[in-house]
Chain A
Amino acid sequence: MAIGSVQSQLESYLSLTMQRQTVLASNMANVDTPGYKTKDIDFQSEMARALAAPDGSTSEASPHAVTGLMERPDGNNVDIDRESVLMAETQLQYQLGTQLLKGNFHTLLAAINGGS
């Protein structure tokens, strides 16, 4: 597998993680908005879609409403604990992505320098 292919896959991964972070930030921002419903991105299917798409094409994931959360009397169903845990998870996923990309660049550099 070419090294560029891995890089573009990692790019899709980082892009999707970033979009999820935005959705989670939006959920947290609307923690006091009456009637607001929690949104999330289906990471697995969106990642599969991003990998199937041709190289270089960037697609925006579509967030969907999360079901099964307890609704407050004002119609809001944001669960702070859920959002906090997911945000920590997303942060670590992003870190994983950047570290892998970094390792990838190092591999490329080693090849350029002839392994020396």
Chain B
Amino acid sequence: MGLFTALDISASALAAERQRSEIASSNLANVDTTRSSSGSGPYRRKEVVLQTAGTSFSSLLGASGSSGSSSAAVPVGGVELTRVVEDTSAAIRRYEPGHPDADKDGYVSYPSINPAQEMVDLMGSVRSYQLNATAVNASKQMIQQSIDLLKS
């Protein structure tokens, strides 16, 4: 374990937060999508599940980062985006008889996405991204100081 582990941990958070903002953007983009990629019903709002890599307490510093139950890319103590789940809440139904996706009663199912909620989520992930980018810089400067020991 060394300072590069700290860099890897921060990098795992950068990756996870980037994916989170991608998902939020995807939800915003598909706010009016009436056909999902699977072909049945409207687009379903997606949500990410974040989890600490190597959740066992003693393994945080005990393992050298390569072992453990987590995937090789994410060091112990980092964060992993384990899966993307679909929101199962009921679709919003609007009466639009002329719409090609209207049912027999003339109602069209729209995804139940609240743009304000997605924007707040997006802002949250951007801030977390910035926080971890700052942490990367801090670790980088520390590594640089170690390297500077060699030249005197």
Number of A residues near B (Cβ < 8 Å) is 35
Q: A30-B79, A31-B128, A33-B52 are in contact. Are A19 and B13 (CB under 8 A)?
A: no
- Least Cβ distance of A83 to chain B in Å? 8
B90 interface residue per 8 A CB criterion: no
B111 interface residue per 8 A CB criterion: no
**Interface majority SS (helix, strand, loop, mixed), chain A:** helix
Chain B residues within an 8 Å CB radius of A22: 1, 3, 5-6, 9, 61, 77
Among the 9-residue stretches B24-32, B33-41, B96-104, B135-143, the one with 4 or more Cβ atoms under 8 Å from chain A is B135-143
Name the interface size band of chain B: 35 or more
Interface membership of chain A positions 1-28, coded 1 if the CB is closer than 8 angstroms to chain B and 0 otherwise: 0000000000000100011011111101
A58: nearest residue on chain B (CB-CB)?
B1
Q: A23-B77, A32-B128, A91-B138 are in contact. Are A105 and B152 (CB under 8 A)?
A: yes
The docked-state distance in angstroms from the alpha carbon of A105 to that of B148 is: 13
A21-B139, A22-B6, A33-B51 known; 6 other A-B pairs, CB under 8 Å? A21-B138, A22-B5, A29-B132, A31-B131, A32-B20, A32-B128
Some 21 contacts from A to B, beta carbons below 8 A apart, are: A18-B3, A22-B5, A23-B61, A25-B10, A26-B52, A26-B78, A29-B9, A29-B135, A33-B51, A33-B52, A33-B79, A36-B52, A39-B60, A60-B62, A63-B57, A87-B135, A91-B141, A95-B142, A95-B145, A98-B146, A105-B152
- Which of B's residues lie within 8 Å of A, judged by CB? 1-3, 5-7, 9-10, 12-13, 16-17, 20, 50-52, 57-58, 60-62, 77-79, 124-125, 128, 131-132, 134-135, 138-139, 141-142, 145-146, 148-149, 152
